[in-house]
C-alpha cells in the first residue's frame, strides 16, 4: 500500500485549483453576458431617495462583475408602468425588465408578454433564493404554474404611520387596534390645525375604504369571483366607521381628494397625528419630517372589528418581471437575480429601511439592532394573523380603486345615505 504524501504547498495549490474550478462556470457565464439591459421602474438610477441609492449600488456591483453589460434605467410614472409595458410589448420595444404592481399581474399575464422566470433563472437561484422569499408574496406571482414575476420589498403595503409624540399627549403609546377605541383616540388627537387621521382618497391603486374593510379578514373577498360585497354588512360597517371619524373631527370633510404624496407632505408639516401610508416609504417619511422629530415616527396595523385580529392588507406591492420578447434574456435574468442577493437584501434593509426579500437575511445582527426596530415591526406584520392579500385575480382592477375612492370622498364630504353611496359604487362597477 502506498500513501500519497501531501505537503503544505501542494495542499494550497490543490485548494486554489478547486476554487478556480468551482468558479469556472460563473466566470464563463460572466464572460458570456453582454449587451444592454433596459429597465422600466419608477426609480431613477440618478435619484437620491434611499431605494434609488440601493438600486444604483446594485447596478454598480452588477456591471463591475459583468463589464460587457450595460444597465439602462428608464424611469416611468409608477401608475403607468404596466400600461406602457403592454403597449411597448405590442410595438416590440418593451424593456427587458419591468416593475409591476401585484394587482396588475393577472391583466399583464393575459397579454402573454412576460417570460416564465423558472425557465431563465439559474438552478442555484431556483433552489436557494426563490424558496427563501416570503411565500405569501412569491406564490402570488405564479399563474397556471408559470412564475411571471418576483416580489420585491415584501411589506405590509398600506399601514398606519403615527407620531409617538402626538399619541403621548393623550397618554397612549400606539394606536388602539379596535375601531371603536381608534375612533375615540383619533378624535382626541385632533387639536388646533392638526387632524387625528389622514387618508389618501385619490390614488388609483390604493383604496382606504378597502383597507378599513380588510379589518373583517380574508373572507371579504369572494374566492370564486375575487369581488367584495360593496353593499354588504361589512361594507356598511366600514362606511359607518368613516362617518364617525368625520363626525368627531378626525377626518376633514374638506380634505377629500388628497393623494398619497399630499398626505406624506402634510404629515411632514405636522397636519396629522396618524395617516395611512405605504410602508416602503417609512424611511422617506422620516427623512422629510419637518414639524416633528423623525425618530418619533412609528408604524401600526389597521384596527379590526370586534374580536378579529388587527388587519394587514399585503398589497398592492411591487413585483419585477422579465419581458418575453427580451433580446437579452441571459443578462436580464442575471440582473434580476442580482436584486435578490444576500448583499442586496441587506442593503434594502439597512439603507432603505425595508423588510429584506431574503428571509434568511433577517438573521443578520443588523435586524436585531435598535436601528431596525421598525423593520422587525414590518416583518411581524407580514406574518400577523390578520394578514391577507388581494385575490390573485381581482376583477375590474383598473376601476375598483378610483370608484371606491369616489365613494369614500362622498362618505367623508357629504351627508348622503351610506346605502346610496355604496349602491352607486356597486352599479358603477357593474358588480
C-beta of 259: minimal distance to other proteins in Å?
7
In the set 54, 242, 255, 329, which binds other proteins (CB under 8 A)?
255
- The yes or no reply on residue 86 touching other proteins (CB under 8 A) is yes
CB nearer other proteins, residue 72 or residue 87 = 87
**Residue count at the site for other proteins (CB under 8 A)?**
36
CB nearer other proteins, residue 59 or residue 408 = 408
Contact 290, 214 (CB under 8 A): no
- The yes or no reply on residue 265 touching other proteins (CB under 8 A) is yes
- The yes or no reply on residue 258 touching other proteins (CB under 8 A) is yes
- What are the cell numbers at 354? 425595508
- The yes or no reply on residue 330 touching other proteins (CB under 8 A) is no
- The yes or no reply on residue 83 touching other proteins (CB under 8 A) is yes
In the set 141, 264, 319, 409, which binds other proteins (CB under 8 A)?
409
C-beta of 191: minimal distance to other proteins in Å?
13
In the set 136, 174, 246, 259, which binds other proteins (CB under 8 A)?
259
Which range of residues in 4-12, 95-103, 132-140, 196-204 is near other proteins by CB under 8 A? 196-204
- For residue 246, the tally of other CB atoms under 10 A from its CB is 16
C-beta of 181: minimal distance to other proteins in Å?
27
In the set 271, 281, 350, 426, which binds other proteins (CB under 8 A)?
271
CB neighbour list of residue 383: distance below 8 Å, 6 or more residues apart: none
CB nearer other proteins, residue 309 or residue 395 = 395
Which range of residues in 10-18, 78-86, 136-144, 300-308 is near other proteins by CB under 8 A? 78-86
| DSSP assignment of 301-330 | PBPBSTTSPPBEE--S-EEEEEBTT-S-HH
CB nearer other proteins, residue 46 or residue 193 = 193
β pairing state of 146-147 and 142-143: antiparallel
- The yes or no reply on residue 254 touching other proteins (CB under 8 A) is yes
Which range of residues in 158-166, 239-247, 316-324, 398-406 is near other proteins by CB under 8 A? 398-406
- The yes or no reply on residue 281 touching other proteins (CB under 8 A) is no
- The yes or no reply on residue 163 touching other proteins (CB under 8 A) is no
CB neighbour list of residue 109: distance below 8 Å, 6 or more residues apart: 143, 148
In the set 111, 164, 188, 376, which binds other proteins (CB under 8 A)?
111
- ∠ at Cα 31 (132, 95), nearest 5°? 65
- In which element (H, E) is residue 39 found? strand 35-41
**Integer angstrom CA distances of residue 298 from 82, 374, 378, 381:** 32, 7, 10, 13
C-beta of 163: minimal distance to other proteins in Å?
14
What CA–CA distance (Å, rounded) separates 428 from 431? 8
What CA–CA distance (Å, rounded) separates 172 from 141? 40
- The yes or no reply on residue 325 touching other proteins (CB under 8 A) is no
Which range of residues in 29-37, 106-114, 149-157, 375-383 is near other proteins by CB under 8 A? 106-114
- The yes or no reply on residue 32 touching other proteins (CB under 8 A) is no
In the set 12, 14, 22, 290, which binds other proteins (CB under 8 A)?
290
Query: Could you give phi then psi for residue 306, rounded to 5 degrees?
Result: 60, -130
Q: What is the largest CA-CA distance in the chain?
A: 98
Q: Which burial class, exposed, middle or buried, applies to 5 when counting CB atoms under 10 A from its CB (0-12, 13-18, 19+)?
A: exposed
What CA–CA distance (Å, rounded) separates 135 from 389? 12
CB neighbour list of residue 130: distance below 8 Å, 6 or more residues apart: 121, 138, 147, 150
In the set 87, 168, 373, 420, which binds other proteins (CB under 8 A)?
87
Q: Where are the beta strands (DSSP E) in 42-178?
A: 69-75, 97-101, 142-143, 146-147, 150-152, 158-163
- In which element (H, E) is residue 19 found? helix 8-32
Q: Which residues bind other proteins (CB under 8 A)?
A: 79-80, 83, 86-87, 90, 107, 110-111, 193, 201-202, 204, 252, 254-259, 262, 265-266, 269-271, 290-291, 398-399, 402, 406, 409-410, 413-414
Amino acid at each position: 500500500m502506498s500513501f500519497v504524501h501531501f505537503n503544505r504547498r501542494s495542499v494550497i495549490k490543490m485548494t486554489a485549483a478547486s476554487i478556480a474550478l468551482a468558479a469556472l462556470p460563473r466566470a464563463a457565464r460572466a464572460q458570456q453576458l453582454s449587451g444592454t439591459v433596459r429597465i422600466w421602474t419608477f426609480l431613477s438610477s440618478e435619484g437620491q431617495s434611499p431605494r434609488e441609492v440601493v438600486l444604483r449600488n446594485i447596478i454598480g456591483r452588477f456591471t463591475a462583475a459583468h463589464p460587457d453589460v450595460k444597465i439602462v434605467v428608464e424611469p416611468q410614472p409608477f401608475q403607468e408602468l404596466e400600461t406602457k409595458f403592454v403597449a411597448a410589448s405590442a410595438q416590440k420595444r418593451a424593456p427587458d425588465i419591468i416593475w409591476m404592481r401585484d394587482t396588475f399581474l393577472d391583466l399583464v399575464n393575459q397579454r402573454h408578454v412576460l417570460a416564465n422566470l423558472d425557465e431563465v433563472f439559474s438552478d442555484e437561484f431556483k433552489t436557494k433564493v426563490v424558496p427563501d422569499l416570503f411565500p405569501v408574496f412569491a406564490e402570488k406571482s405564479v399563474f397556471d404554474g408559470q412564475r411571471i414575476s418576483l416580489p420585491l420589498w415584501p411589506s405590509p403595503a398600506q399601514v398606519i404611520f403615527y407620531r409617538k409624540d402626538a399619541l403621548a399627549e393623550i397618554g397612549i403609546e400606539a394606536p388602539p387596534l379596535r375601531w371603536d377605541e381608534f375612533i375615540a383616540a383619533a378624535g382626541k388627537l385632533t387639536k388646533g390645525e392638526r387632524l387625528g387621521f389622514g387618508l389618501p382618497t385619490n390614488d388609483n391603486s390604493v383604496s382606504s375604504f378597502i383597507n378599513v374593510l380588510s379589518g373583517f379578514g380574508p373572507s371579504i373577498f369572494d374566492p370564486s369571483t375575487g369581488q367584495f360585497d360593496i353593499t354588504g354588512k361589512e361594507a356598511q360597517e366600514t362606511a359607518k366607521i368613516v362617518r364617525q371619524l368625520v363626525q368627531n373631527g378626525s377626518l376633514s370633510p374638506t380634505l377629500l381628494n388628497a393623494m398619497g404624496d399630499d398626505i406624506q407632505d402634510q404629515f411632514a408639516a405636522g397636519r396629522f397625528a396618524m395617516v395611512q401610508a405605504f410602508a416602503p416609504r417609512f424611511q422617506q417619511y422620516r427623512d422629510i419630517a419637518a414639524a416633528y422629530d423623525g425618530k418619533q415616527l412609528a408604524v401600526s396595523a389597521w384596527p379590526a372589528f370586534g374580536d378579529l385580529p388587527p388587519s394587514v392588507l399585503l398589497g398592492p406591492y411591487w413585483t419585477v418581471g422579465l419581458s418575453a420578447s427580451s433580446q437579452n434574456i441571459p443578462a436580464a435574468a442575471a440582473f434580476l437575480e442580482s436584486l435578490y442577493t444576500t448583499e442586496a437584501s441587506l442593503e434594502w434593509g439597512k439603507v432603505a429601511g425595508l423588510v429584506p426579500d431574503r428571509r434568511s437575511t433577517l438573521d443578520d445582527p443588523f435586524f436585531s439592532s435598535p436601528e431596525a426596530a421598525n423593520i422587525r415591526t414590518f416583518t411581524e406584520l407580514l406574518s400577523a394573523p390578520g394578514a391577507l392579500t388581494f385575490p390573485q385575480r381581482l376583477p375590474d382592477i383598473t376601476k375598483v380603486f378610483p370608484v371606491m375612492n369616489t365613494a369614500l370622498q362622498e362618505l367623508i364630504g357629504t351627508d348622503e345615505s351610506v346605502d346610496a353611496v355604496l349602491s352607486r359604487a356597486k352599479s358603477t362597477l357593474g358588480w
